[in-house]
Amino acid sequence: MDTYEDLIAAEDVLLFVNAAITATGQREFRDDAAAQRFSLGFLHEYVLGNYRELYAAVLALDVNDHNAALMVRNLLATAAEASPEQRRAEGRLIARRLALLPPQRVYKLFARLARERVNNRRTRAIVRGWLAARPNPALDAVKYRGGLKATVRHAHLPPREPEFGRFLFSGAARQAAFAEPLLDAWRRAHYERGAVYELPYTVAEGFAAKHRIARTEFLERIEPRLTRLERLRLRESADGAVAVDLARMPLTRLASYLLGLPPAEREQRRAELTAALTAAAERAAGPLRGSWGRVAAVLDDSYSSYGSGQKRRRPLAAALACHHLLAALATDYRAYWTSGRRDPLLAHPSGPTPLGLRVLDALEGGPDRLVIVSDGWDNAPPGLAAEVLRAWRTRLDPDGRTAVVHLNPVYDAEGFDVHRLAPTVPTAGLRDAEDLPSLVELARFAEGRTGLAELRAHLDARVAAFLSAPEAAR
């Protein structure tokens, strides 16, 4: 049986998990960036100091890249405080998580370790292993030249090939030809316009400006080398020069893209955008498609769903993506937007947050599941949602026939957690809608009825799956 201390530990870890999923240290609608960074930094320090093994295990959950990098930094910087068994377990988790992070974020992390003089044996081994596993070292040398150079120097690693050392450390633009085609293309691009189109887009863009190549001409010729996300970012700025298959885009990112379009264009492209969102949602649902029964969703499109200048419309994008994913998961699905709108394609942040009224509407049909996606600030009238949910659970549905869960895409810096609607409703942080099924499972631990032993078992299972799953499966 769990002790009181175990229950407190479970609650502390769940607080941290919610923060690690939602918080990025950037400004939110109600908190500035400084408050976000201070609150998040405190949680990292507290959980690392008190629950080191659980802190490391959280790397196996759906944490965002910002917190994953911060956790890796903290574990490496405090290696002396870990036992040999802890270091071995942490090393595997760190290596796996680094393999999943975008390379630019990993190089930024390595640069921070260099500035802070974190250079213990384990750090050097992890850096060496990550570099050795990179699939295209020439691409890294060209695209992340400064980061790779600083990393190799900090970890005291010899370059893979002699000419890579010459490229990084000997003024590559003035060198003789390189045998590696991509390295030589970078050298030639300094004085040869044609070589620009042999380079990755982000590198070629600087050379295009140097050679004063017209933007339209540059985009037309560089198009074959664009990645999926580069195509998405350039779709609107390229004046039709860049084609993109929206149906292959990740669901939440696609929702963010849609919300950035003017309403008139959304209406004009309704069939294309709806088909793309449906395809992305069905892909995210995978084998769970159609298995959730009757689902009702309360989705927040109030003014606060705008987010901030740094995270523009991010809460609304999460709600829109969840809307499409829940439609794919359910056999019967009904959506209730706080604004009362019925057309999600034209969603935009506006008005108050009458969550209580929408929860009443959603519960009226007696769904198998009620999913609430909101920042939790119920204000029209204040507190109605909590009272409705309390009455529903204690008087109308004490047997729990309707499973209720609240997913919150916004970290509350003052409360060191995501803002909760009611003590009786399990709440979990949300970053990407694609993680919704696993977050619904995690949210049950937030009801306060399960203790540390069950949470440890859940984390152990997630760690085992995380370490054994092929990289492509994520």
State pLDDT tens for residues 137-192: 999 999 999 999 999 988 888 876 778 888 888 766 667 888 899 999 999 999 99
Domain's final residue, options 232, 249, 266: 249
CA angle 184/188/191 to nearest 5° reads: 170
Q: What is the mean pLDDT of residues 38-52?
A: 95
Total number of domains constituting the chain: 2
In a domain, 34, yes or no: yes
- Write out pLDDT tens, residues 349-366: 999 999 999 999 999 989
pLDDT value of position 2:
63
In a domain, 460, yes or no: no
Q: Is the pLDDT of residue 244 over 80?
A: no
CA dihedral 362, 399, 430, 70 (to 10 degrees): 170
Taking the C-alpha atoms of residue 259 and residue 249, their distance in angstroms, rounded to an integer, is 15
Q: Is the pLDDT of residue 312 over 60?
A: yes
Question: One-letter amino acid identity for 28?
Answer: E
Q: Mean pLDDT, the chain, as a whole number?
A: 89
In a domain, 473, yes or no: no
pLDDT value of position 473:
37
Taking the C-alpha atoms of residue 62 and residue 459, their distance in angstroms, rounded to an integer, is 12
Domain containing 25: what range? 4-249
Judge if 236 and 267 occupy the same domain.
no
448 conformational bin, left if phi > 0, alpha if psi -120 to 50, beta if neither: left
Residue 443 banded pLDDT, cuts 50, 70, 90: confident
Judge if 171 and 274 occupy the same domain.
no
In a domain, 324, yes or no: yes
Q: Tally Cβ neighbours within 10 Å of residue 275.
A: 13
Judge if 297 and 440 occupy the same domain.
yes
Judge if 16 and 118 occupy the same domain.
yes
Judge if 72 and 114 occupy the same domain.
yes
Judge if 231 and 264 occupy the same domain.
no
pLDDT value of position 441:
84
Judge if 166 and 313 occupy the same domain.
no
In a domain, 398, yes or no: yes
Q: Is the pLDDT of residue 220 over 80?
A: yes
Q: Which of 442 and 333 is assigned the larger pLDDT?
A: 333
Q: Is the pLDDT of residue 112 over 80?
A: yes
Q: Is the pLDDT of residue 243 over 70?
A: no
Q: How many residues does the chain have?
A: 474
Judge if 134 and 225 occupy the same domain.
yes
- Write out pLDDT tens, residues 385-408: 999 999 988 888 888 899 999 999
- Write out pLDDT tens, residues 52-108: 999 999 999 999 999 999 999 999 999 999 999 999 999 999 999 999 999 999 999
Taking the C-alpha atoms of residue 355 and residue 323, their distance in angstroms, rounded to an integer, is 16
Judge if 276 and 235 occupy the same domain.
no
Q: What is the mean pLDDT of residues 236-242?
A: 55
Q: Is the pLDDT of residue 230 over 90?
A: no
Domain's final residue, options 217, 249, 281: 249
Q: Which of 18-22, 27-31, 257-261, 435-439 has the lowest mean pLDDT?
A: 27-31
- Strand 411-412 versus strand 294-299 pairing type: unpaired
Q: Which of 299 and 172 is assigned the larger pLDDT?
A: 299
Judge if 224 and 303 occupy the same domain.
no
Judge if 244 and 334 occupy the same domain.
no
Which residues have a Cβ under 8 Å from the Cβ of 162 and sit 6 or more positions away?
A: none
- Retrieve residue 220's tokens: 């037309």
- Retrieve residue 350's tokens: 């506006």
In a domain, 461, yes or no: no
Q: Is the pLDDT of residue 125 over 80?
A: yes
Percent of the chain with pLDDT over 70: 94
In a domain, 20, yes or no: yes
pLDDT value of position 474:
37
Which stretches does DSSP call E strand in 325-440? Answer: 332-337, 369-373, 403-408, 411-412, 417-418, 427-429
Q: Which of 76-80, 223-227, 457-461, 470-474 has the lowest mean pLDDT?
A: 470-474
Residue 29 banded pLDDT, cuts 50, 70, 90: confident
SS3 at position 141? helix
Q: Is the dihedral of CA 274, 279, 280, 281 positive or negative?
A: positive
Q: Is the pLDDT of residue 12 over 70?
A: yes
pLDDT value of position 447:
63
pLDDT value of position 228:
80
Judge if 263 and 227 occupy the same domain.
no
Taking the C-alpha atoms of residue 411 and residue 308, their distance in angstroms, rounded to an integer, is 13
pTM across the whole model: 0.89
Q: Is the dihedral of CA 15, 16, 20, 24 positive or negative?
A: positive
Distances (CA, A) of 206 to 13, 143, 145, 468: 45, 11, 14, 40
3-state secondary structure string, 67-94?
HHHHHHHHHHHCHHHCCHHHHHHHHHHH
CATH of the domain at 377: 3.40.50
In a domain, 364, yes or no: yes
Q: Tally Cβ neighbours within 10 Å of residue 268.
A: 12
DSSP code at position 157: -
